[in-house]
Amino acid sequence: MFENLSEVRDYTTSTLMRGVTDFGNLKQYNLYETGYSFLVCVSVPVFLEKLAKENKKYDILLNNYIHIIENEFRGLDGLENLTTETVELTNGISNINMISKVNEQSASTVSMRYFEKAATPITRLHELYLKGIKDPRTQIKTYHGLIDKGILEPGYENEVFTFLYFVTDNSVSKIERAMLLLNAQPTSAETSMFESEKGTIEVKEITTEFNCFPVVSDVINAKAKAYLDYMNNNTTTPLSKRLIKQSTEFNYSYTPNTANLPKGF
């Protein structure tokens, strides 16, 4: 276990907080920091891929959806603790509880928040997805005509996303935790966002919820580490996938081209 994750430092030579606290030895206080997390869309539902190949607008919608949920990802809620159940051992007078079962998160609902963009690509994609799974007026699975055309057979295997979620240290170079969110399905399309009141101008933050099955393993850790290294490789990684850590190295869109500046500038 824990292969390809950040290594635990040796704290055994420090007194930590027993007795006099040595605040001159800061090495013993390298704490875990939250807030460094990433989401990667590993796969999308097969029927959406097929629709995108047949319809240019759907292709643009799907590609933009993936780009937004990966690059504007701000965090995820819905992960649970590893928990236990116990059995009681008793002599009729006194008792103790011993672990009889260890429970890991299974069927889950995770949520992520995004600011919806103009033309509502997140909401549209979820609406396209849900209405393809089951027509809301007939409850018939159609995949928007792909089944009737004989392009796809109905099946759960054609209807799920797979996401890689990982958390890094504060240098964004080491993996703290990684998991695959298997069989992910959005639970709603937030069409209520179109409610309005005249004179009230707002941007809309929406919550995207997915039912999924989270899994962890050394293989997943290795994949997360490989993807993190890929993002950090600024020489070969495409700009849209690249992670620029230092703002002084970033080439802003309005950085002037020296060829167009006055002579001697």
Per residue in 181-226, pLDDT (tens digit) is 999 999 999 999 999 999 999 999 999 999 999 999 999 999 999 9
- Model pLDDT for residues 56-115, shown as the tens digit of each residue: 999 999 999 999 999 999 999 999 999 999 999 999 999 999 999 999 999 999 999 999
Query: Could you give the CA distance from residue 18 to residue 39 in angstroms, rounded to a whole number?
Result: 40
Question: Quick check: is 226 in a domain?
Answer: yes
How many domains would you assign to the chain? 1
| Confidence check: pLDDT of 10 > 60 | yes
Give start and end residues of each alpha helix (H) in 149-263: 218-232
Q: Full-prediction pTM beyond 0.85? A: yes
Beta carbons within 10 angstroms of residue 69's beta carbon:
20
Average pLDDT over the chain reads 92
Kindly tell me if the per-residue pLDDT of 123 is higher than 80: yes
Asked if the structure places residue 1 within a domain, the reply is no
134 in a domain, yes or no?
yes
3 within domain boundaries = no
**Strand positions, DSSP E, 104-204:** 108-115, 161-168, 175-186
What span, in angstroms and rounded, lies between the C-alpha atoms of 54 and 78? 35
* Over residues 137-146, mean pLDDT: 97
User: Whole-angstrom distance between the N-terminal and C-terminal Cα of the chain?
Assistant: 58
In the predicted model, what is the mean pLDDT of residues 31-38? 93
Q: Please check whether residue 195 lies inside any domain of the structure.
A: yes
Whether residue 13 lies inside any domain: the answer is no
Q: Report yes or no on 261 lying in a domain.
A: no
Nearest to 243 by CA among 32, 35, 4, 36: 36
For 124, the domain range is: 31-77+109-244
Q: What is the pLDDT of residue 259?
A: 61
Residue 225 lies in a domain: yes
